[in-house]
Amino acid sequence: MNNDSSVASLATRLRAEATGLRAGTRMPSSRTLTERYRVSPVTVSRALALLVAEGVVVTRPGSGTFVAERRAAASGEADRSWQNTALGERRVDPEGVALGLIPVPDGIVPLVGGYLPEGLRPTRALAAASARAARRPQAWGAPPPEGLPELRAWFAGLTGCTPEDVLVSGGGQSSLWLALRAVVAPGGPVLVESPTYPGLIAAARAAGLTPVPVPVDGDGVRPDLLAEAFARTGARAFVCQPTFHNPTGSVLPPDRRAGVLKAARQAGAFVIEDDFARHLSMGAAPAPLVAGDAAGTVVHIASLTKATAPSLRISGIVARGPVAERIRAAQLVESFFPARPLQETALEFVSSPSWPRHLRAVSAELRRRRDVLAAALAEHVPEIQLPSLPSGGLYLWGRLPEGLDDAALTETARAHGVAIAPGRPYFPAEPPAPYLRLSYSAAADTDALVEGVRRLSAALRASR
Ligand SMILES: Cc1ncc(COP(=O)(O)O)c(C=O)c1O
């Protein structure tokens, strides 16, 4: 089974790609396209057929698919293919990030999505906070370059560090990008958990770094494997999500936390702690790695978007020593500072009584949703194994039966009216088995979650 919207979306990307190339340039092979866009061979061949019909590409049996002669002159369009020569080979692949941001059309149940659903976002409280923030005398002026002092103090309170250790930054993704480039030299290796957040893999690659996978189990990364990877690669940084890991939901236990710090210190390397889900806890969240790290090994990133709304793009980066100077300098050079009205809004909100109330409501609702989704999966699709139930975060990580193709199932599921995330993009190298990531955060309510699972069950039967 195949999904028309996947075909159309791949055709759109390939059309854009072909438009920027000289006539006669060979398009990537079907196999490359299948891997790059994580779609089935059927989708690739249908998308290419569409472009052949449009006259964008031509196929030459036995030798491949090529960009067709331009119809530019006839259509009056300018030929901008010269830009490819100017731009060279370098690519920025946004796939790992874009996947999570594309809205799911009406009628499809979203078991994808990494933010709170509309109904759980503190929209009214944020509106009030932003109105108050915008009226402050200095609201539209430049903030201190490291961020508003009170907001720095608030982020410091999450970690037990001092306000001087905090740089206010523009959200988790931007902070990861900043920290990676500040810490790792261009072309260098960076150790990452496998599986991990595709946006991290995309950022590392876009920065010209090589993400090197270190396998995780149900308790997160194994310090012995981490030490071995440091020794083998000479890497000077490891990116870790010790708390409510995306996608597995795992929490690194205390002995492993100590082991990770030890391995990094022995290697003279940094740990970049992506603490993205701290406020999405269903109980108590453990202290972050950075708490008690006097040596400055850990660069800690905490973002406000996950517990509020995607556009409250404010985060705090805790770093101590020369790395702090490097990161601050990099942010100044790159973007000066996050917009002051947004910093003021964040500060208004997190220091208001609405914040703890909001967190309590989020915690209770996420627990309810997690339980409903897990129960529905056990009832309707018991063949998807859930190694564990997370105690925070937004996702279930399910292992598919051996031999099932996660990308093909994702397409089939879409055609059955449910959007799911295939496991493959979460692995920086070949996945050890097929997995799915199922989000319980984006669906409208728990009935929608159950309906999504029913549709997934039908898709699974159709895939066998
Ligand atoms: C593990 C992880 N880190 C960082 C981010 C970036 O989030 P934001 O830039 O919205 O703070 C995400 C978003 O999905 C994530 O899943």
> Scanning the structure block, which residue is given the tokens 């996050």?
338
* Residue 78, C-beta contacts closer than 8 angstroms, at least 6 positions apart: 72
Q: Is 276:176 a contact under the CB 8 Å cutoff? A: no
Distance 54 CA to ligand 1 centre (A): 38
* DSSP H helices in 140-289: 149-159, 172-183, 198-206, 223-233, 254-267
Tokens, residue 88: 């060279």
- Do 194 and 429 contact (CB within 8 A), yes or no? yes
- pLDDT tens, position by position, 186-205: 999 999 999 999 999 999 99
Q: Is the pLDDT of residue 273 over 60?
A: yes
Q: Out of 34-48, 169-183, 256-270, 351-365, which region has the weakest mean confidence (pLDDT)?
A: 34-48
Superfamily of domain 109-121+356-463: Aspartate Aminotransferase, domain 1 (3.90.1150.10)
Identify the residue whose C-alpha is closest to ligand 1 atom 10: 305
CA 243 – CA 395 distance, rounded (Å): 13
Largest CA distance in the chain: 69
Q: What is the pLDDT of residue 95?
A: 79
- Beta-bridge mates of residue 67: 57
Cα atoms in the 13 Å half-sphere on the side-chain side of 164: 2
Query: What pLDDT does 72 receive?
Result: 52
Q: How far is CA 431 from CA 143, 402, 439, in A?
A: 45, 12, 20
| 394 vs 398: CA distance, rounded Å | 13
Higher-confidence residue of 322 and 12: namely 322
State in Å: Cα 301 to ligand 1 middle: 10
In the reported structure, the alpha carbon of residue 442 is separated from the centroid of ligand 1 by a whole-number distance in angstroms of 15
- Tell how far the Cα of 398 is from the centroid of ligand 1, in angstroms: 20
117 compared with 7, residue with greater pLDDT: 117
294-334 confidence digits (pLDDT tens): 999 999 999 999 999 999 999 999 999 999 999 999 999 99
116, 121, 173, 311, best to mutate for ligand 1 pocket (most atoms within 8 Å of CB): 173
pLDDT digits (tens, 9 = 90+) for 28-61: 988 888 888 888 888 888 889 888 888 888 888 7
Mean pLDDT of 435-463: 96
Q: What pLDDT does residue 424 have?
A: 95
Q: What is the Å distance from ligand 1's center to 164 Cα?
A: 24
Domain 134-350 belongs to what topology?
Answer: Aspartate Aminotransferase; domain 2 (3.40.640)
The SS3 assignment for 424 reads helix
Q: Which helix (H) or strand (E) element contains residue 169? A: strand 166-169
Task: State residue 74's pLDDT score.
Answer: 54
CB atoms closer than 10 angstroms to residue 414: 22
Question: Mean pLDDT throughout 388-397?
Answer: 96
| C-alpha span between 348 and 148 (Å, rounded) | 12
Position 246 scores a pLDDT of: 97
What is the separation, in whole angstroms, between the first and last Cα of the chain?
11
Q: Is the pLDDT of residue 1 over 60?
A: no
Query: Helices marked H in 64-104 — which ranges?
Result: 72-75, 82-87, 95-98
Residue 377 token pair: 């999966």
* pTM, full prediction: 0.87
Q: Which residue has the higher pLDDT, 409 or 10?
A: 409
Read off the pLDDT of residues 239-259 as tens digits, 9 standing for 90 and up: 999 999 999 999 999 999 999
**Secondary structure (H, E, C), 230-253:** HHHHCCCEEEECCCCCCCCCCCCC
Residue 13 and residue 444: Cα distance in Å, rounded?
30
Name every protein residue with a CB atom under 6 angstroms from any ligand 1 atom: 100, 114, 171-173, 197, 199, 241, 246, 274, 276, 303, 305, 310, 315
- Peptide bond before residue 247 is cis, with ω within 30 degrees of 0: yes
Question: What is residue 405's predicted lDDT score, i.e. its pLDDT?
Answer: 95
Model confidence pLDDT, tens digit, residues 53-107:
888 888 887 788 988 886 555 567 788 878 888 988 888 888 788 877 888 999 9
Q: How far is the CA of 271 from the centre of ligand 1 (A)?
A: 17
Nearest CA to ligand 1 atom 8: 172
Cis peptide before 322 (omega within 30 of 0): no
Q: What is the pLDDT of residue 2?
A: 46
pLDDT mean across residues, the chain: 93
Reply yes or no on whether the pLDDT at 404 is more than 60.
yes
Q: Which atom of ligand 1 is nearest to the CA of 115?
A: 14
* Six token digits for residue 251: 């929490």
Phi, psi of 21 (to 5 degrees): -105, 155
Report how far residue 61's alpha carbon sits from residue 86's, in angstroms, rounded to the nearest whole number. Answer: 31
What distance in Å separates the CA atoms of residue 114 and residue 437, rounded to the nearest whole number?
A: 11
Percent of the residues in the chain that have a pLDDT greater than 70, as a whole number:
98
Per-residue model confidence (pLDDT) at position 4: 67
Q: How many CA atoms lie within 13 A of 424 on its CB side?
A: 18
Burial 42-54 (b: 16+ CB within 10 A, else e): bbbbbbbebbeee
- 198-221 in b/e burial notation, b at 16+ Cβ within 10 A? bbbbbbbbbbebebbbbebeeebb
Q: What is the pLDDT of residues 217-230, one digit of tens each?
A: 999 999 999 999 99
Mutate to test the pocket of ligand 1, among 306, 313, 317, 342 (most ligand atoms within 8 A of CB): 306
Does residue 460 contact residue 453 with C-beta atoms inside 8 Å?
Answer: no
Determine the average pLDDT of the residues in 410-435: 95
Domain coordinates in residue numbering, the chain: 4-91, 109-121+356-463, 134-350
Least confident of 18-22, 158-162, 181-185: 18-22
Better pLDDT: 410 or 61? 410
Residue 303 alpha carbon to ligand 1 centre in Å: 8
Angle at 230 between CA 226 and CA 233, to 5 degrees: 130
SS3 56: coil
Q: Are strands 220-221 and 210-217 parallel, antiparallel or unpaired?
A: antiparallel
Closest CA to 405 of 14, 41, 8: 41
The predicted structure's pLDDT at residue 189: 98
Percent of the chain with pLDDT over 90: 76
DSSP state of 168: E
Which residue(s) pair with 40 in the sheet? none
pLDDT of residue 40: 84
CATH tag for 4-91 (out of 3.40.50.300, 1.10.10.10, 2.60.40.10, 2.60.120.10): 1.10.10.10
What are the C-alpha distances in Å from 266 to residues 54, 223, 227, 295, 299?
58, 12, 8, 12, 17
Where is pLDDT greater, at 121 or 8? Answer: 121
Distance of CA 230 to the CA centre of its chain: 24
